[in-house]
Structure 1
Amino acid sequence: MALLFSHALTEEQKQEAREKWGIGTFLSLPDDLQSRWSQVPPEGAFPREWIQPVIEWLSRETGPGDVVLVQGEFGAVYLVVSWCHREGRIPVYATTARRYESRRQPDGSIKNIHLFKHVNFRRYPRE
């Protein structure tokens, strides 16, 4: 499973990937490409050339039928998922159950807590 996202997989996610998707290896982006993936410039039109090295890496490091976890900046995700569909990769994303708690503190302030729990990996739909 090639990992295009900004944090580490949990043990629960690794277990699901192994058991339900048959994943044997988790392939992280090299540091320079991870930095690109995590910091897509927000100004102006989408910078396709910024993401091109990531797609070139995917082309070299994965093959048809390989699973690619894709989460990040919306334009980058769209571009990579489209590429995966064209090139026979299986693009997936992680779904989560979310719970929100708001707790009043002794000093009168309010502490908001957002809890996220992995549910499963889901294929990106095709058009």
Structure 2
Amino acid sequence: MPRTFCLLNHVLTQKQLAELGEKFNSIEVVYPEKNLAELWAQIPPEKSNEEVVGSVVSWLKGESAPGDLFIIQGEFGSTFTLVDFALKNGLVPLYATTRRVAKESRSGETVRREYVFEHVCFKKYQYFE
């Protein structure tokens, strides 16, 4: 059974975990250590991404195996580089698709709009043929 390596800024929901088991036959989720998760969450915009990408690659090389899943979303350039790494090294990179639902409330002349993001499904990153 493949393991799922998760590089997001939040833990997976019960619905997401259920989908991983049902659709991808994965029952184990591996999150990065706290320092790597914090680094991923706050990539400095003025610096090169090499340190962050290198740290994630080291984590994956040390723990993952071909066929494992890799859920990744975040800073675009680093995500692109890591998806390319995953595809070239036998990992299955995934991203979550969501449905955005707007909720609006009014109080006198004040209008408040809140967006709730609901998980729809995971999709595979893939090269265009």
Pairwise TM-score range, normalised by the shorter structure = over 0.9
Alpha-carbon distance, 1:8 to partner: 1.2
Match of 2:39 in 1: 36
TM-score normalised by structure 2 residue count: 0.91
Q: Is the 8 A contact 2:96 2:120 kept in 1?
A: yes
Unaligned runs of 5+ in 1: none
Whether the 8 Å CA contact 2:87–2:126 is kept in 1: the answer is: no
Aligned to 2:80: 78
For residue 5 of structure 1, what is the aligned residue in structure 2?
8
| Displacement after TM superposition at 1:102 (Å) | 2.8
Q: TM-score, with normalisation over the residues of structure 1?
A: 0.93
Match of 1:123 in 2: 124
- Pick the aligned partner of 1:20 from 20, 23, 43: 23
Residue identity opposite 1:123 in structure 2: K
Match of 1:68 among 67, 70, 80: 70
Structure 2 Cα separation of the partners of residues 8 and 72 of structure 1? 14
Structure 1 runs of 4+ off > 3 angstroms?
Answer: none
Residues matched between the structures, number: 125
In the alignment, the residues of structure 1 paired with residue 103 and residue 30 of structure 2 have an alpha-carbon distance, to the nearest angstrom, of 35
8 A contact 1:36–1:51 mirrored in 2? no
- Code of the residue aligned with 1:88 in structure 2: it is G
State the Cα RMSD in Å.
1.2
For the residue of structure 1 that corresponds to 2:102, the secondary structure is: strand
Question: Which of 49, 52, 57 is the equivalent residue of 2:51?
Answer: 49
- 1:47 to partner: Cα distance: 2.2
Percent of aligned positions with the same letter in both sequences?
33
- SS for the counterpart of 2:60 is helix
**Residue 93 of structure 1, CA deviation:** 0.4
Uncovered stretches (5+) of structure 2, i.e. residues with no partner = none
1:53-87 C-alpha deviation (Å, 9 max, x unpaired): 11110111111110000011111111110100110
SS at match of 2:121: strand
Conserved? CA contact 2:86–2:93, under 8 Å: yes
